[in-house]
A and B are shown apart, each in its own frame.
Chain A
Amino acid sequence: MTHLELATDDGHTLRQSTVETSPLAIRGLTVSYGEKPAVFSVDATFRDGSMTAIIGPNGAGKSTLLKAALGVIRPLSGTVTVYGKPLAGQRQRIAYVPQRASVDWDFPTRVVDVVLMGLYRQLGLLGRAGATHRAKALACLERVGMADFANRQIGQLSGGQQQRVFLARALAQDADLYLLDEPFAGVDAATEKAIIDVLKTLKAEGKTVVAVHHDLATVAEYFDRVFLINVRKVAEGPVGEAFNAENLQKAYGGRLAMAQIENLQLTAG
């Protein structure tokens, strides 16, 4: 299957992407919250050093796919390998940015303390966060333009600022693979720009970025690969090939009018 895909690839990534080398390879993943599967028999091979948008309609299993990849949700079946090894020993290589709305921002803590949570694996159970850790947390806040807010109570932040703090926490994790769940949901334009700049820097550093994304208009601008899903996998590949009208129609069905698809000015398909 991998070979077939390589044959139709855009050729700019020459690295073989097999289960052994992929930052995140998913095989036969099925997840169910009740009787109806949320994700059914999905294979995915994310490329090393790529930026992939996971797109699909609401309830298509996008977040579920990420959560199952992280072991946050237990799948009914399927395997997940991270850089060719089982997830359990590879957690330090993954950073995760959950949906902003999934936590209660009234929690009594400061911005810098949230970023320090990203150092959990480094600090362990009883390690004390010292000056170097604080400096590191501040540097991560600096990268997302939030250094001035370090001592604010998190509840005082706007939605966009909260999202940047979450990204700073992921940066503190010093990972190779960044999984983001709707990082642009409900944020202001300045935050969107700040976040995409950071993600592009990560890609330039050779990191792998996988993000659940909602805004089809920015897919081609922000990402180099797409993964289309609607419970089952619809397509996977470079934006120039897989992000086409046929695949979008397949993923979104009647929910996405043909006219809208045409407005996206797709490069291929």
Chain B
Amino acid sequence: MSGAEFVPLSLTPILIGIFTAVACALPGNFLVLRKQALIGDAISHVVLPGIVVAFLVTGTVAAWPMMVGAAVAAVVAVVLIEAIRRLGRIETGAAMGVVFTSMFAGGVLLLERSDTSTVHLDVEHALMGNLESLIWLDADGWHSLLDPVALAGLPPELPRIFVTMVAVAVLIWVFWRPLKISTFDEGFAQGVGIRTGALGMALVIVSAVAAVAAFDAVGSIIVIAMFICPPAAARLMTNRLEMQVAWSVVFAVISAVLGYVFAGYGPLWFGGVNAVSAAGMIATTSGVILLVTVLFGPCRSRTGAPSEG
């Protein structure tokens, strides 16, 4: 494929896919180790009603109202989960299950009942996004990367998810040590003065921001997959947290690139005529990577089960 074709049509979706995957995989490492992996799932479900309400209020699908609506919905969900957990005296998982399914259902219902036929806002879009449509028509080759006029026509999702990814990476780098200590041993972390409650909440908020930014570009399926699959696969490759995070980034990038290519060309190789959803294929690819590491990863035996000495 020549640059003249690749740059406008495929470069931006691939980059957005990569940035999204990395932005979600980074906090996903800690969520998986803290056994909170489904928080990504919960967030990506609960933002739907937020987005619909934001649309009903503002009447547009502009990015900022959507993001604000999603953020408000995420906060409402966190508060509801905590309230149900405390008042109902049930475990967090059950409270999350109740909150995110009912909020997602509420979102679907709202979507059905409201007139969103004129805009691109539907359940399918919420789930799978539309990565393939994020093309860069102002570009006509590699040299456009240096052309300010062409750069101005970049899809806005690209800089937004890029900034999100960088912010997530910087936060995790800065708070690496307290995050690592409190993820391993919360009691000890509190003993040395780490505010583990605030840190845990911050991790969930960072994950929510990544999920919302990703949701806007690529839908919720990819978010759920990227929070869990690359970190889980990475855990099976190494016994060191630093290396695990590095592997998770590698797997996230591979999933995004291969997933996009498979979605665009895979069906043609097998005699099909239409490409399949890139977001769906990226999520599938990350799942296949996880499967391969489960079967062949060097650190897949669980050694840390409590044993008597």
The chain A residues found within 8 Å of chain B, CB to CB, are 67, 70-72, 88, 91, 94, 96, 98, 100-110, 113-114, 117, 120-121, 123, 125-126, 153-156, 158-163, 169, 173, 179, 186-188, 191
Query: Which of B33, B192, B309 is packed against the most chain A CB atoms within 10 Å?
Result: B309
Output the least CB separation between B295 and chain A (Å).
19
Contact B244–A117 (Cβ < 8 Å): no
What is the CA–CA distance of A114 and B177 in the complex, to the nearest angstrom?
11
Kindly report which residue of chain B lies nearest to residue A126, judged by CB atoms.
Answer: B174
Contacts A106-B304, A108-B244 given; indicate if A72 touches B193 (C-beta within 8 A): no
B306 pairs with A108, CB closer than 8 A: no
User: How many residues of chain B have a CB within 8 Å of chain A?
Assistant: 33
Question: Which residues does chain B contribute within 8 Å of A187, judged by CB atoms?
Answer: 309
Nearest B residue to A87 by beta-carbon distance? B193
* B202 → chain A closest CB, angstroms: 13
How far apart are the CA atoms of A105 and B307 in the complex, in Å? 10
Neighbouring B residues of A71 by C-beta, 8 Å: 190-191
B178 touches A (CB below 8 Å): yes
Contact A117 B181 (CB under 8 A): yes
Contact in complex: A91, B235 (CB < 8 Å): no
Among B174, B181, B191, residue most surrounded by chain A Cβ atoms (within 10 Å): B191
Chain B residues contacting A102 (CB-CB under 8 Å) are 185, 187
- B185 and A156 form a contact (CB under 8 A): no
Q: How far is the CA of A106 from the CA of B307 in the complex (A)?
A: 12
Residues of B within 8 A of A113 (CB): 240
**A71-B190, A110-B239, A110-B240 known; A186 vs B309 contact (CB < 8 Å):** yes
B185: A residues at CB distance < 8 A: 98, 102-103, 117
Q: Rank and list the top 7 A-B pairs by shortest CB-CB distance, nearest first.
A: A106-B304, A160-B309, A155-B304, A159-B309, A155-B303, A105-B304, A96-B191
**B305 at interface, CB cutoff 8 A:** yes
* B241 close to A (CB within 8 Å): yes
- Report the separation of the CA atoms of residues A153 and B301 in the bound assembly, to the nearest whole angstrom: 12
The reply on B183 being an interface residue by CB < 8 A is: yes
Whether B184 sits at the interface, judged by CB under 8 Å, is: yes
Q: Taking each of A88, A98, A108, A126, which has the highest tally of chain B beta carbons within 10 Å of its own beta carbon?
A: A108
**A153 CA / B244 CA spacing, docked (Å):** 13
* Chain B residues with CB below 8 A from A158, complex form: 307-309
**Choice from A91, A101, A161, A179 contacting B193 with Cβ under 8 Å:** A91
What is the bound-complex CA distance between A159 and B304, given in angstroms? 10
